[in-house]
A and B are shown apart, each in its own frame.
Chain A
Amino acid sequence: MSDKKLMHRRTFLRGAFGATFALPLLDGLAWQAAGRPAMAADPQSPPFFFAVRAGNGVQQAQDGGGEPERWWPAEMGALTASMMTRMVDGDMRATGELAPYADRLNFIQGMRLMFPGNGCGHSGGGNQILTAATVSQDLSRNRSLSTGESVDNFIQRMLSPDDVEPLTLAAGKTSSYLDEVLSYAEPLPGQTNGRLRSAERNPWEAYKSIFGEPDSNSDDYLYNLVVERRKSVNDVVRDQIDSLKRSPALSAADVRRLDNHQQAIRDLEQRMVACHLPDAEIGPIRQAGDGREFEDMSKVEEMSQMMSQIVALSFACGLKHAATLQIGNGNDQTKYEIGSGSQFPFHWISHRIEGDGGAGSSPDIANADYMHHLVDKIHMAMFRETLDCFAAYEMADGSTLLDQGVVLWCNDLGAGRSHSYRNIPFITAGSAAGALRTGQHIDARDTASAQGDWVPHGQLFNTIINALGVTQADGSPVLDFGHKGGLGQDQPNGGEIGALKAG
């Protein structure tokens, strides 16, 4: 490789035109020695929302039929590593895996899914978990759908009207019974059901679809040379578009055309310029696709991490604003390596019996609640790796990408044993650039509008949406995301969860 030094990007621009340009986020990216990108401070750093979903509920005391509490932190209030790692019957509680992120997390109890499923609890939970909307009446059981859009869809389309598709990913093997449950586009006019998205399970395909295939033919120096040349051309073109847009003669439709042109330049620039993971990380992703490893359920943890890498980079590059990652299929049948010799599918373990049916329909699984706890720990470890991906992007002010948005972990059921819709486990990570308080273990019922004994979980989405600076079309805050009444169901209480809001 040539040892020639390239002019620094910002110096280059200043030298070129004598002025500092409002550059897209990626213009500030530079690869650090560790192979991780550092992000220059940018006042327009885009907000993001990423939801990771697991299924089958968690092993918790609520609705657990007398089982011990092994999931939630040991105490309410300011979150500490100590309360997260406190031992239960000789083992660390599951959320202890996240202790390194204690100050950036919120654990939120006291919320439930407000609507009944329609013949399949897993499907009904998945229908509601990110939509807070009712379950379809015309389609039932494992074919039921949400009647509304999911929060990732709403955030993506509101933040990026020109690219309304959130990233929809999944880790783990498919099943013939219930696959994707998570991301919904809004219903088409005149229709009552949302449009369920299929999820990309192949990380290599996901990577290429967003960033394109990396150029492996040139060395870094030559590649950067081409990049610099292209970017300098783009700057001139961008400048021309800006000057055109300032023309008083221009109609709104023509401004939109130029916006499209500008967006196309930016998207291409980001894809071709800086939006690639280091080779050491691309290699396994490519192999996972080429070798069909994503179809191997024993690789679900690796796939989760790869997908998280892809999502984090897409956010860092400003290419996407919302994404979802579904772990396992709808009623997760993954056989997790929990070190006890168990080869039971997780769904069986969650029911505590050797089968997919209800209690008593098959022989019990001994220590199933503990096995479920071990699976929970795996899920929490996977989520920690997800957070690692976001924390790896450092901003110039010392914060990280994680601090710019919200990463949500949720399960579409509450307790595994009962498959209930109560006390749904929710964890948020990240402060949305300071709009959210973090480092708390709270009960939403203390600072939100409960309905009956529980807080409708749509209020969590209201809080997140507003924290991200997303508003309704008229600019007002969102206070009633999800179900808007009808279909035989009352509209749940709206509002936000006060304890999560900063200031």
Chain B
Amino acid sequence: MRPVVHAVLLAAAFGLTACQGGVMVFSTPEGAGGGGGPDGPRETFDNNITTPDEGCVGIECEIATASPTPNLTRLTHIQWENAARDVLLLEERSGLSGTFQEDTLPPGLFNRDSRNLEITNLLWDDYREAAETLAGQVTADAGALARIVPDGAASEPRAQAEAVVRAVGKRAYRRALTEDEVTKHMELYDLGGNLADSESPHLVGLRLAISAMLQSPFFLNRVELTQATATAPERLSGLEIASRLSFALWDTGPDDALLARAEAGDLDTREGVAAVAREMLGDDRARETMLGFYEQLIQLSKYEGLERRQPGGPEFNAQVGRAMREEVERFLLDVLVDEPRGLRALLTSTTGFVNADVAPFYELEGEFTQEFTRVDLGARRPGFLTRTGPMAYMSGEEQPAPIKRGHFMLVHLTCTEVPDAPEVLNGDPFEGNTNRERWEAMTGECGAICHSAYLNPAGFAFENYGPTGQWRELDGDQVVDAKGRFSQGSPNEDVIEFTDAADAMRQLAESPRAHACHARHWFEYVSGRPPGEAEAPLLAQIARASLDDDISVVDAIVAIVTSDTFITRLAPSD
């Protein structure tokens, strides 16, 4: 009997609009009044690329525009986790955010989307409990307590408590506490002592003061109080820029050193911001943030839970899944941080990092241990997407899932809008000699517009990668056909005609649309919001620099964080 495909998951589209239009418009940020002017939304990613280079050309240009942003941006759960660790100088993350009420799916691509971050009743309950727990742990552990007592603090309990309040408070609120705030926290310390019962008044007082700081709106939110209007952007204070930078690049609040630099005026100039940002991007904390971008794109943490089988291939198990994750992470960090490069390398570099677990899936010759070794994976494996982990993730148990793969390539690499599958088909399985034929038979009955022009061919490019990511020449007894052509955006526009995935990756690396999409994603991730119209020139500039000058991701990020849209604030129009 020939293998069959059950029609259970189709990113098919019956409606034509999004697929035909196929362009991502800029969002209208909160309070912007929206709509893109009298003619409605007008900017597209094509425009981003093709916008004439007016005036200053190049990544160093200053573009004085900004979109409205809120005064308060609630921390994501991972930011809370990191910030709590760093405020209290814990040796590791507490893990308490694992019990927090989960945020709903973000309206944008990343969970940093500020539009999605609210403090609900349930979450407040979680915050309160976590704050009490952490404050209790720190005050119950002499070593932990000693870490938060600043050097040179007095030994007399109350004086020492005030020193702790000032030091911890500064990290928690990302600025020095006002004297009034110090007074109120010390009153809390004193009252805690009164309510100590049989416990140490000093410790109970400290516990209350610390607990209050971790429940403060100044800790739970990134707060910007620079007075701005809806028409004229205002430059943020150095401390506010420090917080923006820190949460954007480190996923945590600024440390003492960064706060000190802000207070010293190091962030008062664009050049200063650029210098500090580059230093921060070289810090280990940035590596995790960089990977966080890809975690949300290609779900690195899910590889070890996959169940995949490829006939005749090596066994896939959780240990292999973990190795595949680490392999991709090492590759990404190599390109992003260690030898900073840009989108071309992300899509075309064949450098790999393999160990004994993952090497068999690449059919590499030689001896491998559990240590990862740098290798050249060859022409079949350009860029991150063709690695075993992402390919296995975008597969079914026993066959590749071309629709998932095509959907990823279109949506995340070219920012082509593809609607969600309008419905799930359940019915008779579809027959065919190959996986490709079966999917073609199935998708031919519905949503052919999207599937034929976009999803299917984009996905079929990867048919040489089996369900475990291992290369395959044959699908059953048939030679794999990975040829095709797909459109980016509107039908028959920005067409990429390819012979296989490697060819498609090479062409994507030269696609203006792919570079524009890449710039957009990084802007959204760094800024915690999708770009507005005001950012179109900035993104066009970054995209062109990426395409023409092959700038690195680090350079692109620095361009974002030194732009007016990052270092100034425009108030929403209420």
A interface residues (Cβ-Cβ under 8 A, vs B): 2, 4, 7, 12, 15-17, 222, 225, 228-230, 232-234, 236-237, 239-241, 244, 247-254, 257-258, 260-261, 263-265, 267-268
Contacts and interface: CB of A to CB of B under 8 A. Distances in A.
Nearest to B173: A240
A234 B211 CA distance: 10
B222 to A, nearest CB: 12
The 4 closest A-B pairs by CB, nearest first: A264-B124, A252-B574, A254-B71, A249-B227
B188 interface: yes
A12 to B, nearest CB: 7
A254 B118 CA distance: 10
Contacts of B208: 229, 232-233
Given A228-B195, A253-B30, A260 B215 contact: no
B507 interface: no
Contacts of A240: 181, 216-218
Contact of A237 (B118, B217, B227): B217
A241 B217 contact: yes
Interface string B413-430: 000000000000000000
A70 B537 CA distance: 82
Residue in A229, A236, A253, A257 whose Cβ sees the most chain B Cβ within 10 Å: A236
Contacts of B128: 230, 268
B66 interface: no
Interface residues of B, number: 44
A261 B574 contact: no
B201 to A, nearest CB: 12
B225 interface: yes
A239 B71 CA distance: 18
A281 B121 CA distance: 27
A6 to B, nearest CB: 8
Contacts of A263: 121
Contacts of B378: none
B119 A251 contact: no
Nearest to A2: B197
A299 B187 CA distance: 52
Interface string B207-229: 01001100111101101111110
B120 A251 contact: no
A257 B70 contact: yes
Contact of A17 (B184, B217, B220, B225): B184
Contacts of B574: 251-253
B118 A257 contact: yes
Given A237-B216, A264-B121, A16 B71 contact: no
B515 to A, nearest CB: 33
A258 B217 contact: yes
Contacts of B271: none
Given A240-B217, A251-B574, 17 more contacts: A4-B197, A16-B187, A222-B197, A225-B197, A229-B192, A233-B212, A237-B216, A244-B217, A249-B224, A249-B225, A249-B227, A251-B31, A251-B71, A253-B30, A261-B124, A261-B220, A263-B121
Contact of A239 (B120, B184, B225): B184
Contact of A268 (B31, B125, B192, B211): B125
B36 interface: no
A252 B572 CA distance: 9
B118 A253 contact: no
A257 B225 CA distance: 15
27 contacts: A16-B187, A17-B184, A225-B195, A229-B204, A230-B128, A232-B192, A233-B188, A233-B208, A233-B212, A236-B184, A240-B216, A240-B217, A247-B225, A249-B71, A249-B226, A249-B228, A251-B70, A253-B30, A253-B70, A253-B572, A257-B74, A257-B119, A257-B221, A260-B120, A264-B120, A264-B123, A268-B128
B18 interface: no
A260 B71 CA distance: 15
B188 A232 contact: yes
Contacts of A16: 187-188, 191
Contacts of A234: 215
A459 B432 CA distance: 70
